[in-house]
Amino acid sequence: MRMILGEAELKAHKEVEGHLITEQAKVNLLDFCKRLRKRFAADRHQAILFSDEKWFDIEKAHNRQNDRIWSEGKVALEERMIYRMQKPKQAVVCARVASIAKTPLLFVPEGVKVQ
C-alpha cells in the first residue's frame, strides 16, 4: 500500500478541528471588537490590571515510562518507591500584570483564607 501511495505521490494529512462560526456570530464579534477599540482609545488600556490565580499540587509528578534509576547493582525497594497521597497538598500562586508594572508572585498555602 505504501508503495502504491508513494508512486502516486500522495501524502497523508491529519484532519483539523476548528470552530464553526455563523455569519451572525461574525457580525456580533466585529461589533464587540469595535466597541472595545472605542472603550480603550487614547491609552486608557494602560489602566487595566490583569490578574490570574493557579492551583498547584505539591507532589512529585511520576512518569513510569521515563523515570528510571540507573545503577550497576540492585537498588533497594525503599529507594525506588514513589509515594503519593489521595489528596495532595496544594498551593495557590497569584500573579498581577499591568502595562507598566508587574507585582511579585504571591504564594498562598492550602487552608489560608485571603480576604
The model's pLDDT over 20-32, given as tens digits with 9 standing for 90+, comes to: 899 999 999 999 9
Q: Note the pTM of the prediction, 2 decimals.
A: 0.48
- Residue 57: pLDDT band by 50, 70, 90 thresholds? confident
For residue 89, pLDDT over 80 is answered with: yes
For residue 85, pLDDT over 90 is answered with: no
* Alpha-carbon span 46 to 42, nearest angstrom: 10
pLDDT of residue 31: 98
